[in-house]
Structures are given as structure tokens and as C-alpha cells.
Amino acid sequence: MPEDNKKVRFERDGHIGIITIDRPEVRNAINAEVSRGIEAAIDELENDSDLWVGILAGNGPVFSAGADLKAVSSGGEAISTARGGFGGLVARPREKPLIAAVDGAALAGGCELVLACDLVVASTAARFGIPEVKRGLIAGAGGLFRLPRVVPLNIAMELALTGDPIDAAAAARWGIVNQLTEPGQALAAARLLAARIIANAPLSVRLSRRAILETRTLDDKTAFEKTAEFFQANIATEDFTEGPRAFLEKRPPVWKGR
């Protein structure tokens, strides 16, 4: 990603790419520079064949307070990108799993960034909410349709219509959060979750992710047909042969991602 972007950091940890929003002085609010930085980091993750899983985190005590309203109101600054939408992420097509590591508040657009990820690890200090109605706005970056896909309809309605946040325990209870950690440990736990994913065949993981996302609203017959397409695509990979061979030879598989 561009080296001149100082508000988003990207680092590699083996097969894991870690994206960190780095504007703690303004609660990691999303401005144009952050959106471009996240998009560039997602490009790096998607285009590097040696990176299999991504993590999105925020530096400081807040994951993200959402859009930088000061930047938007002062000069009409665009905080969306043409390809990724808000934060360079919420509308971005992706192939590789992305884990949100949430330590502190993820509100408004910050919550919508979390909902755009595939898995969520959060500390007990986390809070989630879409408070836009409190400012005469609506959550336009995916929250209004992604929340009811994750939580019961009445819970999504409560969050959207009151604008009130829920704590991490409630978010875990309703299915927004996969794992809860102690404060300050969300990123470490997200790394461990990523490690569990990269132990598996990367193309099988990506095809499984696609199958879940693309069949969730289909009837069973159509879903079976769609799943069969992914199954056949997986058979064509080298890793499809490596998995059973490693099992028979009683050794760990050596995945090539092809």
C-alpha cells in the first residue's frame, strides 16, 4: 500500500495481513485518507498470494467512532471510495476472510465496518451501535441491512430506531461477536483465530466463505446446485490432492494455495 498514508498501517505476520486504523486522536474517525488507506490495504491483502486472512483493528481505546463529520462538513470531503464505499471496505467485493478486532467502541460507521467483516473478536470494553438517528441521519453504510442478517429483526430495529449501543456481552449473545476477550486482548485473540483459519487449505476456506455468502437466501435445490459449483472448483486445486495425501502419510499438509 502507499507508504505516504500515515493513518492506516499494514503489516504482515506470516499468512496474516493486519490493517490498523491509526487516528486515535479523533477516535479513529474515518476521513478520505483512512478510506483510501483501508482500500489500499485490502488491495494488498487480496493481491498477495502469500496472505490468506486479514484482520482489521483500531489503534487506541476506540475501534472507530465512524465518519469524521468535521471533515465532511468543513469541505465536503469524500469519505467513500468508488470501489469500496465507506471506509474503502463496506461495499468492497473480497475473496479472503477478514476478522474485526474490536477493543472499545465501534459506533455508526465504525460498527458498519465491523459488520462488513466475516468474523468479530471483541474485548469486554467494546460497544456496538448505529446512533445516526440521534443526529438526524441514517446508517447508510450497510448497517440497516447487515444487522438484521446477524441479529433478530426486533433487536436490529431497536438498535436502528433508538440509536442506543449494546455492550460486548450483548453483541456476543446476539451473534455479532464470535469471541470475547479481556480489554486489550482483542487483537491477540484475532491473531489466534486467524491462525486457526490459515491452518486450513486457503482455497477451500475462500470457496467455503463464498458458498455461505452466496447461498444464504437461496432455496435448498438452488443452494445445492451452487454448492456443487464450488465443490467442483475445489476439486481442481492442487491442495485438494495434498490434504488426503498428507492424512494418509500421517504428516501436516503443506498448502500451496493453488
Active-site residue set = 112, 132
* Ramachandran angles phi, psi of 178, nearest 5°: -80, -40
C-alpha cell at 152: 433478530
Q: Using an 8 Å Cβ cutoff, are 246 and 253 in contact? A: yes
* Ramachandran angles phi, psi of 67, nearest 5°: -65, 145
For residue 223, give every residue at least 6 positions away whose Cβ sits within 8 Å of its Cβ, in sequence order, or none: 215
Strands (E) located in 166-215: 166-167, 179-181
C-alpha cell at 192: 489466534
Least Cα distance to 46 among 89, 2, 95 occurs for 95
